[in-house]
């Protein structure tokens, strides 16, 4: 029972497409037959008109079913066929064309209508087993061939390896089976043909790819039915097709098989495996917290056994034995095959490389039948590249330049004022002028209030300038023209408060403006500064003003924004006015102190300022004097 179970299991692994056992109602004994379904391995293709055979797949593993021993246990082999397109099993009647010999069914030769399913059944009175296989009879033109000169072959090429410079005797496949059959009474004759692969560099396009033995040199020959290679050459590689022929009755029976001959390096060569990469000197640079890939490349020379191994060790342990093995993985691939000498590459991938990994020993090891080699991978931590530092330096410089640029553009007024406060010269020491500022404005206008209440008061009280306002400072009784000219001449700056009606024909303001522009033109240490209280259309200006505008600084009052002493208006103005160091060097402090000019400085504060001036008129004269 146990052996039967093992038989079952064994066949289950061997056969594909197993179907459940079915009973054989036709069987007179009512015996149930074990049906192993259809064997894929047992399926056969034969060229129409050629000799062929079917082997019962039950006997393909003699340890399970041995033909000799089944005969002795009284079991008989029966053949059935299910022709293509039918589903009825028909017993095969032995004929001169279809003959049985031991476990084989011979087709002498195969006909196109032989295609179909074949069943072999092994049976005695108490047991029955059957298995099916498929036969396909192909027309010669249905067989895929590389070349017209090649005979059609339906069986895959058998590989044969011959060492270069070595020799070998090569048999035509299946010849022994055919020769053992009593049915084929005559002796077989075998013809050979060498087919040069068209990928080969030795294939010359103009020459035929099929080379019969007549064209061969002395290094190989056909000896009886076999192929004898005396001295193997690279050019002898390729397919060899052998065609076996038998004379039977009046007909010639034949079949063809192919052999794939490849050359390998001779056994006399060095056979120990060698590690090509890393070399003893090679040092890998690694970077912490990154994925590190270590490459190992080795050469395994050709050996018959073709057993080789390549593996990684970490601190003398294989990868699966390392405690943090999840961080390691490896991939191995063949990169080259040179006459059987294979070059293999193995990459060890280390996730998240750590500082302590630097101290670990990573060894790549290789082994085959003849030898063993191991090599440690030298690791060194990557030093930051100078180019990175260079880049950083450049970046910092650029950022600094940008910062300076921004600082200059935003704070240029402040910087200018600071510079002046340090290096500017006080004009009072170089000229003999009485006033710092002469204010010229249109009388009876909106600007008048601004001049009297804001401009004058800040310039005098906060910034410490001496201010001259004609209406206030002129003495009654003098000639207006002379006095105006003399006042303007005695001032360092002429502040012109531009307004729509400014310097209308024949006005006091026009006189002041002319005096100022003349004084400036004559180099009388006088400068004219324009102040715009409210936006004015340029066309409304008098001709003198329009001409002069190009050369003059214009400071704009920007409403509430300009009320603080730290605003742009006052800074701009101060830049234009003479350098004045406020006593105690507290210039900066004064700037920072916010001077709020109340927005309601309408009548109340205005009258306050004016009344203040009225109360102490001498104050102005004293300071001016
Ligand atoms: C089959 O069995 C016989 C004896 O039972 C033995 O001589 C023969 O070698 C066996 N054949 C195989 C292929 O195992
Ligand atoms: C199959 O074809 C062969 C000849 O090609 C013929 O002798 C034979 O009778 C045919 N068999 C059947 C079942 O048609
Ligand atoms: C039939 O064959 C089986 C082996 O498969 C054997 O054990 C049995 O004895 C045979 N029966 C007879 C009646 O010969
Ligand atoms: C070889 O040549 C044949 C025709 O001569 C062509 O059909 C076939 O594709 C070629 N094979 C290769 C691998 O180039
Ligand atoms: C012959 O064998 C070589 C190497 O084993 C293989 O690359 C090639 O494809 C084979 N050629 C044929 C026609 O089977
Ligand atoms: C690792 O390789 C070096 C040679 O590079 C060798 O000396 C060392 O013994 C090897 N370590 C192990 C554990 O095999």
Tell me: the pLDDT tens digits for 171-226? 999 888 777 777 777 788 999 999 987 766 666 777 778 889 999 989 999 999 99
CB 75 within 8 A of CB 122: yes
Helix (H, G, I), strand (E, B) or coil at 166: coil
Cα 160 to ligand 5 centre (Å): 10
CA distance linking residue 474 with residue 494, whole number of Å: 16
Supply the residue whose CA is at minimum distance from atom 5 of ligand 3.
127
312 alpha carbon, closest ligand: 6
pLDDT (tens digit, 9 = 90+) per residue, 532-580? 888 877 777 777 778 777 778 888 888 888 888 888 888 888 888 888 7
Q: What is the pLDDT of residue 302?
A: 94
- CA 260 to ligand 5 center in whole angstroms: 6
pLDDT digits (tens, 9 = 90+) for 75-102: 899 999 998 888 888 898 888 889 888 8
For the chain, residues with pLDDT lower than 70 are 1-30, 199-203, 384-389, 505, 581-625
Q: Give the C-alpha separation, 330 to 518, whole Å.
A: 93
* Rounded distance from Cα 124 to ligand 3 centre (Å): 6
What angle do helix axes 480-489 and 508-521 make, rounded to 10 degrees? 40
In the CATH scheme, what is the homologous superfamily, with its name and number, of domain 424-613? Answer: Toll/interleukin-1 receptor homology (TIR) domain (3.40.50.10140)
DSSP class of 120: E
Place of tokens 């890393």: 278
> What separation in Å is there between the alpha carbon of 204 and the centre of ligand 4?
13
Alpha carbon of 195 to ligand 4 centroid (Å): 12
Closest CA to 445 of 534, 320, 569: 534
Q: What are the domain boundaries of the chain?
A: 2-141, 147-264, 274-381, 424-613
Q: What is the reported pLDDT for 13?
A: 41
Please give the angle made by the CA atoms of 553, 534 and 557, to the nearest 5 degrees.
55
- The alpha carbon torsion through 602, 605, 607, 610 (nearest 10 deg) reads -120
Q: Which of 167, 166, 194 is nearest to 259 (CA)?
A: 194
Q: Is 260 in the pocket of ligand 5 (CB under 6 A)?
A: yes
Beta strands in 412-547 (DSSP E): 435-440, 467-468, 491-498, 527-532
**Which ligand 2 atom is nearest residue 113's CA?**
1
| Structure tokens, 471 | 């209406």
Residue 199 Cβ < 6 Å to ligand 4? yes
Using CA atoms, how far residue 500 sits from 153, 446, 484, 533, in Å, is 112, 10, 22, 10
| Ligand closest to CA 318 | 6
CATH number belonging to the domain at 147-264, selected among 2.60.40.10, 3.40.50.300, 1.10.287.470, 3.90.550.10? 2.60.40.10
Looking at the CA of residue 125, tell me the nearest atom of ligand 3.
13
For residue 128, what are its two tokens?
Answer: 């029955």
The two tokens of residue 137 are: 């009879």
Residues annotated as catalytic are 512
pLDDT confidence of residue 528 = 86
Q: Which atom of ligand 6 is nearest to the CA of 280?
A: 5
Q: Specify the ligand 6 atom closest to the Cα of 365.
A: 14
Region 274-381: CATH code:
2.60.40.10
CATH number of the structural domain 2-141: 2.60.40.10
Tell me whether domains 2-141 and 274-381 share a fold: yes
The H or E element containing residue 341 is strand 341-350
Q: What is the pTM of this model?
A: 0.59
Strand partners, 570: none
Q: Considering only CA atoms, which residue is closest to atom 12 of ligand 5?
A: 260
């Amino acid at each position: 029972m146990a052996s039967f179970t093992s038989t079952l299991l064994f066949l289950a692994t061997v056969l594909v497409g197993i179907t459940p056992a079915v009973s054989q109602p036709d069987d007179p004994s009512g015996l149930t037959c074990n049906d192993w379904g259809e064997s894929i391995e047992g399926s056969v293709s034969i060229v129409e008109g050629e000799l062929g055979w079917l082997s019962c797949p039950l006997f393909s593993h003699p340890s399970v079913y041995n033909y000799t021993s089944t005969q002795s246990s009284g079991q008989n082999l029966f053949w059935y066929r299910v022709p293509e397109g039918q589903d009825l099993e028909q017993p095969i009647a032995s004929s001169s064309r279809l003959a049985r010999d031991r476990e084989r069914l011979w087709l002498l030769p195969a006909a196109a209508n032989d295609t179909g399913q074949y069943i072999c059944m092994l049976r005695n009175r108490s047991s029955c087993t059957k298995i099916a296989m498929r036969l396909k009879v192909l027309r010669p033109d249905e067989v895929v061939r590389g070349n017209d000169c090649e005979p059609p072959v339906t069986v895959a090429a058998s590989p044969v390896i011959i060492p270069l410079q070595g020799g070998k005797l090569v048999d035509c496949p299946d010849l022994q089976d055919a020769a053992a059959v009593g049915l084929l009474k005559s002796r077989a004759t075998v013809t050979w043909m060498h087919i040069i692969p068209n990928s080969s560099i030795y294939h010359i396009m103009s020459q035929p790819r099929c080379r019969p033995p007549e064209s061969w040199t002395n290094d190989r020959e056909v000896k009886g039915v076999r192929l004898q290679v005396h001295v193997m050459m690279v050019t002898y590689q390729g397919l060899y097709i052998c065609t076996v022929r038998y004379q039977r009755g009046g007909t010639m029976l034949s079949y063809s098989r192919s052999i794939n001959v490849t050359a390998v390096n001779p056994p006399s060569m060095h056979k120990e495996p060698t590690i090509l990469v890393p070399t003893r000197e090679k040092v890998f640079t690694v970077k912490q917290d990154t994925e590190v890939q270590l490459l190992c490349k080795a050469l395994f020379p050709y050996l018959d056994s073709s057993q080789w191994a390549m593996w990684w060790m970490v601190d003398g342990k294989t990868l699966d034995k390392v405690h943090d093995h999840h961080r390691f993985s490896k991939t191995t691939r063949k990169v080259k095959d040179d006459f059987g000498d294979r070059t293999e590459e193995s990459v060890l991938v280390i996730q998240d490389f750590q500082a302590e990994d630097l101290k670990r020993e990573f060894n790549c090891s290789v082994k085959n039948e003849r030898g063993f080699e191991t090599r440690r991978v030298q690791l060194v931590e990557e030093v930051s590249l100078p180019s990175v530092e260079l880049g950083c330096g450049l970046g910092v410089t650029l950022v600094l330049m940008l910062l300076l640029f921004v600082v200059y553009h935003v704070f240029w007024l402040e910087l200018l004022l600071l510079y002046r406060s340090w290096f500017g010269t006080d004009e009072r020491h170089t000229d003999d002028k009485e006033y710092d500022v002469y204010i010229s404005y249109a009388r009876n206008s909106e600007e008048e209030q601004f001049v009297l209440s804001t401009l004058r008061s800040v310039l005098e009280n906060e910034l410490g300038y001496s201010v001259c306002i004609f209406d206030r400072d002129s003495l009654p009784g003098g000639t207006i023209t002379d006095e105006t000219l003399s006042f303007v001449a005695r001032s360092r700056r002429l502040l012109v408060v531009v307004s729509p009606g400014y310097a209308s024909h024949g006005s006091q303001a026009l006189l002041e403006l002319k005096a100022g522009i003349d004084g400036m033109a004559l180099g009388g240490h006088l400068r004219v500064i324009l102040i715009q209280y409210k936006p004015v259309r340029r066309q409304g200006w008098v001709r003198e003003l329009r001409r002069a505008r190009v050369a003059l600084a214009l400071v704009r009052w920007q409403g509430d924004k300009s009320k603080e002493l730290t605003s742009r208006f006052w800074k701009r103005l101060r830049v234009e006015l003479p350098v004045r160091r406020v006593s105690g060097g507290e210039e900066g402090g004064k700037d920072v102190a916010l001077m709020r000019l109340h927005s309601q400085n309408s009548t109340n504060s205005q009258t306050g300022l004016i009344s203040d001036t009225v109360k102490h008129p001498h104050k102005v004269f004293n300071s001016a004097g």
